[in-house]
Structures are given as structure tokens and as C-alpha cells.
Amino acid sequence: MENKYIKIFEDCQIVLGTNQAIICDLTRKKVLNMSKHGLEILLDSDRKLVSYFYNQFPNKETGEQIIKHLLDNEIVFLCDTKEELTSFPKFSSSYQKPSNILSHMIVDIGNLIWEAHLFETFIDAGTRHLQLRVSESHHLSQIDSILAFTKESAFKSFEIVVPHAIVNDDLIRKWYGINGRLKLIFLLGSGEFSKSFNEDKVMKINVKYDYCDLFDPIIPTSSSTFIVNHLFFVEASHKNIFYNGKVFISTEGKVKKSCFEEKSYGIVNRDFRIQGFINHPEVKKLWNTSKDDLQTCKDCEFRYICPDERLPQPSMNGNNLVMKELCNYDPYTGKWTFN
């Protein structure tokens, strides 16, 4: 074995934090924890002899144990010759999505009465996913009408975010009957953590329960909330994975880059044109801000698989971007708040 060459599977991406490190298996959609020192040695040993890998440890037995662990978990494989290593394509980390595409529209239902024509400028800009958020029961009827007049639109999927207390199963079935492209409903304040079910084989819809409040950003509470796949990983390495390509519309029809800030970039009406929002420097900056650009987040080994909704803001001295709300995970100690 010592004369064979180590090759890391290309879909197994190693991410180093300040004190911790992980392997993201993007095909199996799972995370493998290992010591940072061990993974640094593995990165250095990629495409080199197994004997070189063994020599990086105090004793050969340690290296043998680690190699066995990596082979058993299909993180690495061995090649007989150096030429064989060139047969495998390298991982593509390039991000292909056009920067002027608006993919997601999040609407807080309230005082503004939505009509079909108000969605046209967003659809023309490439928006294909619509999320409707309601906090009060007397606005629920608007969901019925929006689902109805967007049924034949270019929107590919619909989501509804609503307090658990103001809906019931019959209402959910009614919404799905109006528009079969309704894919996901978040029921907030239910007293349960993210419990998904698909009990109705006819209704192809996912309903999730969550503790969180409509007006608070969702911050991961454990590793089970991470999203591990190729598309998410690549986008998160280049962009703000939560805000990129999204527009938020307030209850008054104000167009925002985040629902967690006051500033708006226009009002939804017949004359509103979305290109001014998409091309605004502040919007572009937010979309292009990855976790590698954020204090603390850049030191975290989970930064490319974390669906964090917090809004990046300037630090006190204005020199850095930070998250004002504390994360539930400390990358310097490797501990979760809830553990």
C-alpha cells in the first residue's frame, strides 16, 4: 500500500476553520468530522504516496488507522501509478448563475392588495420561486387569490410561511387544491423543531414546524440544519447563500434587500421596474458577500453549508462586515449553544 498514491474524491471537499475542520461529502450529502491537523496533512498528501502520508505522523500506526478510516468512508481511493491520477476530473467550484437574475421573491402579505400585474416585472426578471408570509389571520384570504391568479404563471414553486395558530389542515388542503405547485409550508411558533411529514400521498407537499418567529432570522441550532450538496456548497463559496438573488416585499409594498432592515428601494406599483433594484450597488454588495467576507463566519468550518438568515452589517469601526446576532455555534471552541 505504501507505494500507492492517495487521491481524494473530488466531491469530498475539505473545509478548514480556525480550530476545526470537516469533510463535506457532497454526493452522499453528509459531513465527516476529523481533526484539523489530520485534514491539513491529507490535503498536503493528495496525489502523493501513502508512504509520504505515513511520514507526517509520529508513528506509522496512526497513519494506517487514518487511511483505513478514509478508505472505509470512501473519502479517498488509491492509485497504482502517478499517471492514473490525471484520469480524474477536478472539482468545479465555478459559479455559473448570471448576476442579474432575480430568482426568489418573498412577500409579506398585509395592507397592499396584490393583483396579477404586480408580479409581472418580477417574473420578467427571472423570478421563479415565490414565498408568501402572513402574520395575521385577516390577511389569509389574500393567499387564496394570489395562489389562484399565479397558477398559470412562470413561477415554478410556491411556499407559505404562517403562524401555526391561525391555520389548520383543511386550509392547507384548500391552498394545495388552488395551486398544485405549492411545495412547502412553514408553520411557525408550533412548539416543535422542524418536523416534516408527507402523510397524504395525493398532496405532494411538505409541511414543517418550527419554533422560530416570523420576524427573527433563522440561525442554525445544530449540524442537522446544514445543507450539504454541490449547488449549495459552490454558491455559498461565492455568494451570500440566503440573500443572493432574492427580493423582499414588505406589507406596505416596499421593495427591500432584506426583511430585517428599514431601507427600501421602491414601492411595488404599475410603474415599478425591478432592474433598478437588481443593479443597485448595495444590493450587489450583499448578494456578493460570502461568509469568507464576514468576521467570525470566515473562521467557521461550516461556512459553505450553513443556511444563515442573519443580515451582514458594518462593524463598529466600519472596516469589516459582521453579524449583529450571535451564532449558536462557536467556531473557536467547536461547541453549540444548545449542547
Average pLDDT of the residues in 74-92: 91
**How confident is the model over 205-256, as pLDDT tens digits?**
777 766 566 667 888 888 988 999 999 999 999 999 999 999 999 999 999 9
Return the SS3 of 14: strand
Ramachandran angles phi, psi of 193, nearest 5°: -90, 125
Average pLDDT of the residues in 267-287: 92
Kindly tell me if the per-residue pLDDT of 63 is higher than 90.
yes
Contacts of 142 (CB under 8 A, 6+ apart): 109, 113, 114, 134
Assign 317 a pLDDT band (cuts: 50, 70, 90).
Answer: confident
Per-residue confidence (pLDDT) for residue 43, from 0 to 100: 96
**How confident is the model over 96-116, as pLDDT tens digits?**
777 778 999 999 999 899 999
Q: Is 259 left (phi over 0), alpha (psi -120 to 50) or beta?
A: alpha
In contact, 305 and 227? CB cutoff 8 Å: yes
Per-residue confidence (pLDDT) for residue 164, from 0 to 100: 87
Per-residue confidence (pLDDT) for residue 200, from 0 to 100: 54
Per-residue confidence (pLDDT) for residue 202, from 0 to 100: 54
Average pLDDT of the residues in 275-285: 94
In the chain, what are the domains?
A: 5-80 (3.90.930.60), 104-216+245-287 (3.20.20.70)
Average pLDDT of the residues in 286-312: 95
Return the SS3 of 232: helix
Give the CA count within 13 Å in the CB-facing half-sphere of 240: 25
DSSP state of 11: T
Q: Which three cell numbers stand for residue 188?
A: 411557525
Per-residue confidence (pLDDT) for residue 203, from 0 to 100: 58
Assign 339 a pLDDT band (cuts: 50, 70, 90).
Answer: low
**How confident is the model over 152-172, as pLDDT tens digits?**
999 999 999 999 889 888 898
Per-residue confidence (pLDDT) for residue 192, from 0 to 100: 58
Residues of the chain above pLDDT 70, percent: 93
Residues of the chain above pLDDT 90, percent: 72
The owner of cell 469589516 is 320
Q: Which three cell numbers stand for residue 74?
A: 470512501
